[in-house]
Structure 1
Amino acid sequence: MIEKHAEHLDGIAALAERYDVFLLDQFGVLHDGQRPYPGAVEALSALKRAGKTVALISNSGKRAEPNERRLLKLGFEAGSWDHFVSSGEVAWRIFTDMAREGTLPAGTRCLLISRDSDRSAIEGLPLVLTERGDDAELVLIAASEGDRYDLDHYRGLLGPAAARQVPCFCTNPDRIMLTAVGPRFGAGEIADLYERLGGSVTRIGKPFPAIYEAALALAGNPARGDVVCVGDSVEHDIAGGQAAGVATALVLSGILADSGDLAGLFDELDAHPDYMLDAFRWR
């Protein structure tokens, strides 16, 4: 049944023969957060040598620059991508515009949910950090530390803010994340918890339109038939790329590495990839 929906390819060289613009996920496609997948460094460089436009598009609550630094540290070649578009970067630009327009007042108290004390999501914004949900005026869920805490930790932190209907933004809608100790709940699951606690959430990132609009604009607004979106999540990469009107390729090296009924998942989410690859490699 899977073959009915998707053409299986041995590597992205076959996609390079058909498309000029690549929107690539990073986690689960290029690397697992600790190291590159076998062949991924070489495949990314080969795409650029083939003259393709490469935009990395990631549900990372961090801004583009720290994400790019990490790729270089992991061994990816400088210049092997043209643009990096993270949901954190898109959100930062939205907040910057809100501050300029006066809809985000200076001194707004922000409860930031991030990872490893990362503050890049709010650098340069007129926000004052708070660690308390009972006096927050804005909640920003940029990342999860689900490998350190359970959901009860976040329930206690966020409950008072949700009860007061404090506006919440989630800049990483992924419900599952890959960690050194295996899959854990992601920032998207924390956002779902905030809603269950009575709050409302604005999600920025895949599969929502703003991040694709930003990436395609940076790529020069190409014809949609010239673009392919490559990722490891049906819910985010395939559904989002499909909604953006571009071709999609599902890589089975990430969160779906041990998945069973993929056809059922495609039907459940009404998101069917055009292509499937076992890994992000050239051939």
Structure 2
Amino acid sequence: MPAPTVTSAEIFERYEEIRLRLPAAKFPHRSQFIDNLGAITDKIDVFLLDAFGVLNVGEQVIPGAVERLEMLADQGKQIFVLTNGATYNSNQAYQKYRKFGFSLKQRQVISSRDEALLALNDIPDHFTWGVAATDYSAIEELPNRTRLLADDPQAYDAVDGFLFLSSAQWTDKRQQLLTEALQRHPRPFLVGNPDLVAPREEGLTLEPGYFAHAIADETGIEPVFYGKPYAAVFERALRAVDLTGVDRSRIAMVGDTLHTDILGGAAAGLRTVLVTDHGLLKGMNASDLIQRSGIVPDFIAATT
């Protein structure tokens, strides 16, 4: 799609508009300000890290992030990347972070796409999904029959349900075709990335959640979301953690967005860390947004 002109302030307001579709949570009364994650190693044993805005911005690694993760690992901390990125499969995502220089094992990278695909295993084999993705999204790994959604209107009527994984090649025309198809014939509508935007070098790019919520507003059809801030992906992450001797109060979700990372982490009963200097809230008054939204992180860090 063409580079959007949406601003962080507009996206904050949009998240507030769709708040009723997001989970509820309890929050601390106030946040503690810290410089980086190194300041809370005495309080946290497990770090669940968002990717965009915490580890990287687009294809650029956030300065010091590689070294910070190495330091946490040297101290025996458990580290997992918990990403809403659904364009790539788990192996592609893992290779991406290895290329960036992060010393991670594949089991440490947990994506919303993995959770969405797991849900497909409960769907009858004869089901055909219309998939919003890219031609490099490896949709052939899906357990059901698939059809990549493009500009053919007949494709939207020929499938049994829709799975939205990536908006990288999405267009206004395809958005209209999907909206009209659901209006004519309501069907299951699954979304593998609930994010409204992602921070990249050129600014914010619109993500599947942005388009899915627009369709929900117009059609009244509620999508099923997989990924932060929804519970299933946190449950999946916690199953990967060695919880021996670890209380949930010593597990932290680290992210750059209030309405996905912080809200989702708090709803899962975890501590939360908001990173402000690289992602969605860069250049904004985070304290004002926290007060307005009521979404309060345990810690606010300038950087990872």
TM-score range, shorter chain: 0.7 to 0.9
State yes or no: 1:212 paired with 2:234.
yes
Kindly indicate whether the alpha-carbon contact (under 8 Å) linking 1:11 and 1:277 is maintained by their aligned counterparts in 2.
Answer: yes
State the shift of 1:192 in Å: 0.8
Alpha-carbon spacing, 1:53–1:254, altered in 2? closer, same or farther (3 Å): same
Aligned equivalent of 2:54, options 22, 26, 29: 29
Alignment of 1:1-283 (within 5 A): 5-61=30-86, 62-79=88-105, 83-96=108-121, 98=122, 104-115=123-134, 117-120=136-139, 123-131=141-149, 132-145=155-168, 150=171, 152-163=172-183, 164-198=185-219, 199-221=221-243, 222-252=246-276, 253-260=278-285, 262-280=286-304
TM-score, normalised to structure 2, is: 0.81
Query: What is the match of residue 101 of structure 1?
Result: none
Matched residues in 2 for 1:185 and 1:254: separation?
A: 14
Kindly indicate whether the alpha-carbon contact (under 8 Å) linking 2:60 and 2:201 is maintained by their aligned counterparts in 1.
Answer: no
Kindly indicate whether the alpha-carbon contact (under 8 Å) linking 2:89 and 2:138 is maintained by their aligned counterparts in 1.
Answer: no
Alpha-carbon spacing, 1:124–1:165, altered in 2? closer, same or farther (3 Å): closer
Matched residues in 2 for 1:254 and 1:185: separation?
A: 14
Matched residues in 1 for 2:170 and 2:192: separation?
A: 19
Alpha-carbon spacing, 1:63–1:169, altered in 2? closer, same or farther (3 Å): same
Q: Secondary structure at the match of 2:167?
A: coil
Q: Secondary structure at the match of 1:245?
A: coil
Q: Which amino acid aligns with 1:162?
A: L
Q: Which amino acid aligns with 1:129?
A: R
Kindly indicate whether the alpha-carbon contact (under 8 Å) linking 2:128 and 2:144 is maintained by their aligned counterparts in 1.
Answer: no
State the superposition RMSD in angstroms: 2.0
Matched residues in 2 for 1:187 and 1:74: separation?
A: 24
Identity %: 27
Number of matched pairs:
265
Matched residues in 2 for 1:135 and 1:47: separation?
A: 50
State the shift of 1:78 in Å: 4.1
State the shift of 1:5 in Å: 2.2
Unaligned runs of 5+ in 1: 99-103
Alpha-carbon spacing, 1:136–1:194, altered in 2? closer, same or farther (3 Å): farther
Matched residues in 2 for 1:143 and 1:237: separation?
A: 19
Alpha-carbon spacing, 1:112–1:205, altered in 2? closer, same or farther (3 Å): same
TM-score, normalised to structure 1, is: 0.87
Kindly indicate whether the alpha-carbon contact (under 8 Å) linking 1:136 and 1:161 is maintained by their aligned counterparts in 2.
Answer: no
Matched residues in 2 for 1:47 and 1:159: separation?
A: 45
